[in-house]
Amino acid sequence: MSDKPGLSYKARRRWALVILLIGMPLYIGVAVNVVSWFERPSILVELLVYAVLGVLWVLPFKFVFRGVGKEDPDAEE
């Protein structure tokens, strides 16, 4: 096992899947709903809002996604 505190590699992979398969679609629905409450801005402003919201959702989960695509560091060779 690794001496690093926090989630194990397998737990981070599982949480990443949950976040991508459940959390992201929910976030998209909420973002579209919130943007629709306001009068529709120009297409460039709307695109900018969605781009910013598209980056903001991942910031709280950065630690979960870091290194998930690499080999398991705890795996035996």
Say how many C-beta atoms besides its own lie within 10 A of residue 65's C-beta.
15
Mean pLDDT score, 31-45: 87
23, two tokens: 């959390």
Q: Is the predicted pLDDT of residue 29 greater than 90, yes or no? A: yes
Ranges of each domain in the chain: 9-58
Residue with the larger pLDDT of the pair 76 and 73: 73
Following DSSP, what letter does each residue of 12-65 receive, concatenated? HHHHHHHIIIIIHHHHHHHHHHHHHTSPP--HHHHHHHHHHHHHHTTGGGHHHH
DSSP state of 73: T
